[in-house]
Chain A
Amino acid sequence: MTDPDRSTTTTREEPPGPGDQDRAADTPQRRAGAARRRPRVGRQALAGWLFVTPFAVLLVVFLLLPMAYSFKISLYRSTLVEGEVFAYLDNYRQALGDPEFRRGVWRVIVFGLVQTPVMIGLAWLAALLIDEATSRFSRLFRLAAFVPYAVPVVIGTLMWGFLYSPNTGPLSALTDLNFLSGGTVLFSLGNIVTWQWAGYNMIVLYAALQGVPREIYESARIDGAGPVQIALRIKTPMISAAIVLVTIFTIIGTLQFFTEPLILQPLNPGAITNSYTPNVYAFHQAFSFQQYNYSAAISFLLGLVVFVGSYIFLFATRRRSALR
């Protein structure tokens, strides 16, 4: 929550696959007495703990400790003249009443409401299409759609920045539209994000489709279902859990929208302000204005928004995602 750099790297990580669970424990050796089994279990438990330790250490050192530290500083207020004083929840109060912060939250919510359905829709459509087609072309298409995800966000955004540039960009030759003006820049950002992530989400959905037993389609065809009906009535419900998953990741990523606006900011600082999204605001509060305390408070509030937003969505879709 505290380090804006994390926003795009860790929140959209690959969904955890079916992990390597220790299945040895499922086959208790009945012949062995309980007395002999117990140390075995103990040793296995130890092995389990050892497997978890590297992750746990990194989690504590790089996430929990920094979070605790930033929560602590979010309760203080440091001023140039008086130094640091304990301020209870003053920073939080200030943030809740801060129109810049609210506008930023509102902006990412609106952005998410438009961009998320468009992107997930594209990914869903593309996944269904390549699942249906079995030509060499589909494999090529799969790869091509995935390539943008392989391009680092910063580089991809810089590239788009050149494409959008009103003076030197190729797009400006085709149309009079300024892609970086106040009215259009949000759509331009949406386009970058969609380009970056649609292919990735498509692969996730496509992988889920691969897991659906083909016999189901067989019986559906015998019952007289056409390809469209199969896609809508069978495939889509079968992968609803995966759809919910990619949507959740997208919602979290959207609320923490950071890298793309920050990279494009120099191209039109009037349109992409220092408080454009909550995370950009937190970044500038800390690193442009040295308001570390306020920045920490904003980050925590944003974390709360992300948590609540994700939870609402999960709750609303719990029937579909087998998360009851």
Chain B
Amino acid sequence: MNVRKFIVERRRRSPAGSMAVAVLTALALVATGCGSDDADEQPDGPVKIKVWAWYPAFQPVVDLFNKTHTDVQIEWTNAGTGQDQYTKLQTALKAGKGAPDVVMLEFQELPTFQLTKHLVDMGKYGANDIKGNYVDWAWKQVTNGDSVYAIPVDAGPMAMLYRQDVFDKYGLTVPKTWAEFKEQGQKLKAASPTSFMTDFGANDGGFMTGLMWQAGARPFDYTAAEAPKIGVSLNTEPAKKTMTYWEDMVDSGLADTTAFGTTDFYSGLASGKYATYLAAGWGPGYLQSVAKTTSGKWRAAPLPQWTAGENAQGDWGGSSFAVTDQSKYPKQATQVAMEIFGANKDAWKIGIDQAFLFPTATPILEWDYFLGKNYEFFGGQKVNEVFVPAYNGIGEFEWSPFNSYYFNQLTTAMNQAVSQKSSWPTALDTAQKNISTYATQQGFTVAQ
């Protein structure tokens, strides 16, 4: 129908008529707004796979994939970092539409999405063929027997990144144990009252879990095969030891409590207010974007140990690619998940050089280029000589199938302990109580 002609004609007749047009238009708008799905009819040609991920310098990796594949093409969106993306993803999965084909998920989120049956078992599409490319603990994180729920990409072995210029200025030595870490902190504080040895982000569940992991804490005892049985033990001795230590560091003014990810935190890293940054393998990638001016001033050292000479380590983050149940092309999506990075040296060269990713694929881990790379950001240091041993010391770890809730409870309890100056280990008791109650409410059989 020729709308304009219709309007002109109606206008001569009566005001009610033109209102009718307006109503029809409004109805049409409402209908288009609420009705149509995305047209999923693939044109003849390559299959388009939607990918959500927030890796730094990811565009060239996508371009490389698209250049080297003719039948599959990636459409990449950055849907937010960490929790922001998970919130969007949960909502899209709940709504039944709007989720991508392939999504970047950190290891700790996998059980959650796997339990709600939103992840495609890629084992059916040949994902088990690449099992040999990954170390045991990484493959265990993403599988349940022969069911493969994600393809590991990078890991988050932790290390202590420190400012060489600050250490030189105040004559600090690189601490090997947490006790030494505190001593150096006191030395720094005495020389420069406005400086801190480090910043403790009580708003970051992954960071705190990584530190407790290093001390030997294993908050959850859970595997998909044993569901709905779950062991919850958050307030164990190693966890409390960790929190007691950090409470003391904060009380003594040696560690700051600015929330991670805030402008204040970044400005503290850039200005040298924080002498060290306890970070994961991917940390430098972020430092590059938020503290560019400090390039060349950083060095990496192993995470301080509780017992001198040990190699106890924790993991913070690390991620994988999973395929959602909304994908209409699970086979191609699996291919994308396996090959975006996979063990492809060209892709990984970008990942290593520009994004500071720490690979989980053994061929890359053993690649001379990776091991021998001098990082300009670290003043030419071969930092992987620090990160690789850290990676090897990580050990097994199980996540709960309600990780968002766990992180939220942990950060809520710790944030309150920080802001109300109440006991940190007691905050762990509170989190333990809440999480056990929640798990029971959710229908799990909880063993303390």
A interface residues, Cβ below 8 angstroms from B: 43, 46-47, 50-51, 53-54, 57-58, 61, 79-82, 162, 165-168, 181-182, 266-271, 273-274, 284, 287-290, 292
Contact: B115 with A80, CB < 8 Å?
A: yes
Contact: B116 with A274, CB < 8 Å?
A: no
Cβ of A290: which chain B residues have Cβ within 8 Å of it?
90, 94, 404
Cβ of A287: which chain B residues have Cβ within 8 Å of it?
87, 90-91
Contact: B259 with A80, CB < 8 Å?
A: no
- With A54-B23, A80-B116, A81-B228 in contact, is A270–B416 under 8 Å at CB? yes
Q: Which of B1-9, B13-21, B376-384 contacts A (4 or more CB under 8 A)?
A: B13-21
Q: B22, B415, B443: which contacts A79 (Cβ < 8 A)?
A: B443
- With A80-B442, A270-B418, A271-B419 in contact, is A162–B16 under 8 Å at CB? no
Residue of chain B at shortest CB distance from A292: B94
Flag whether B308 is at the interface (Cβ < 8 A): no
Please give the distance in Å from A129's CB to the nearest CB on chain B.
38
Across chains A and B, which 10 residue pairs bring their CB atoms closest together, nearest first?
Answer: A270-B419, A81-B443, A270-B415, A50-B19, A47-B16, A54-B26, A167-B264, A79-B443, A80-B442, A81-B228
Contact: B404 with A289, CB < 8 Å?
A: yes
Flag whether B408 is at the interface (Cβ < 8 A): yes
Cβ of B404: which chain A residues have Cβ within 8 Å of it?
288-290
Contact: B26 with A58, CB < 8 Å?
A: yes
Contact: B16 with A274, CB < 8 Å?
A: no
Flag whether B73 is at the interface (Cβ < 8 A): no
Cβ of B264: which chain A residues have Cβ within 8 Å of it?
165-168, 267
Flag whether B262 is at the interface (Cβ < 8 A): yes
Flag whether B198 is at the interface (Cβ < 8 A): no
Contact: B419 with A268, CB < 8 Å?
A: yes
Cβ of A80: which chain B residues have Cβ within 8 Å of it?
115-116, 401-402, 442-444
Cβ of B87: which chain A residues have Cβ within 8 Å of it?
287-288
Residue of chain A at shortest CB distance from B228: A81
Those of B27-54 within 8 Å (CB) of chain A: 27, 30, 34
Flag whether B209 is at the interface (Cβ < 8 A): no
Cβ of B420: which chain A residues have Cβ within 8 Å of it?
182, 270
Cβ of B360: which chain A residues have Cβ within 8 Å of it?
none
Residue of chain A at shortest CB distance from B407: A288
Contact: B20 with A50, CB < 8 Å?
A: yes
B interface residues, Cβ below 8 angstroms from A: 14-16, 19-20, 22-23, 26-27, 30, 34, 83, 87, 90-91, 94, 115-116, 202-203, 227-228, 257-259, 261-264, 267-268, 401-402, 404-405, 408, 411-412, 415-420, 441-444
Cβ of A162: which chain B residues have Cβ within 8 Å of it?
263
Residue of chain B at shortest CB distance from A169: B264
Please give the distance in Å from B286's CB to the nearest CB on chain A.
16
Contact: B34 with A81, CB < 8 Å?
A: no
Could you list some 24 contacts between A and B, CB below 8 A?
A: A43-B16, A50-B22, A53-B23, A53-B26, A58-B26, A79-B441, A82-B443, A165-B263, A167-B268, A168-B264, A182-B420, A266-B259, A267-B259, A267-B262, A267-B264, A269-B259, A270-B203, A270-B416, A270-B418, A270-B419, A271-B419, A284-B408, A289-B405, A290-B94
Q: B14, B91, B115, B415: which contacts A269 (Cβ < 8 A)?
A: B415
Cβ of B402: which chain A residues have Cβ within 8 Å of it?
80
Cβ of A271: which chain B residues have Cβ within 8 Å of it?
419
Please give the distance in Å from B442's CB to the nearest CB on chain A.
4
Please give the distance in Å from B112's CB to the nearest CB on chain A.
8
For the complex, what is the distance from the CA of A182 to the CA of B420, rounded to whole Å?
8
Q: B34, B203, B408: which contacts A61 (Cβ < 8 A)?
A: B34
Contact: B15 with A47, CB < 8 Å?
A: yes
Apart from the given pairs A47-B15, A273-B415, A288-B404, 18 other A-B contacts in the complex at a CB distance below 8 Å: A43-B16, A47-B19, A50-B19, A79-B442, A79-B443, A80-B401, A80-B443, A81-B442, A81-B444, A82-B443, A166-B264, A167-B258, A167-B267, A168-B264, A181-B419, A270-B202, A270-B257, A270-B417
Cβ of B19: which chain A residues have Cβ within 8 Å of it?
47, 50-51, 53
Cβ of A58: which chain B residues have Cβ within 8 Å of it?
26, 30
Cβ of B257: which chain A residues have Cβ within 8 Å of it?
270
Please give the distance in Å from A92's CB to the nearest CB on chain B.
16
Please give the distance in Å from A304's CB to the nearest CB on chain B.
24
Contact: B262 with A266, CB < 8 Å?
A: yes
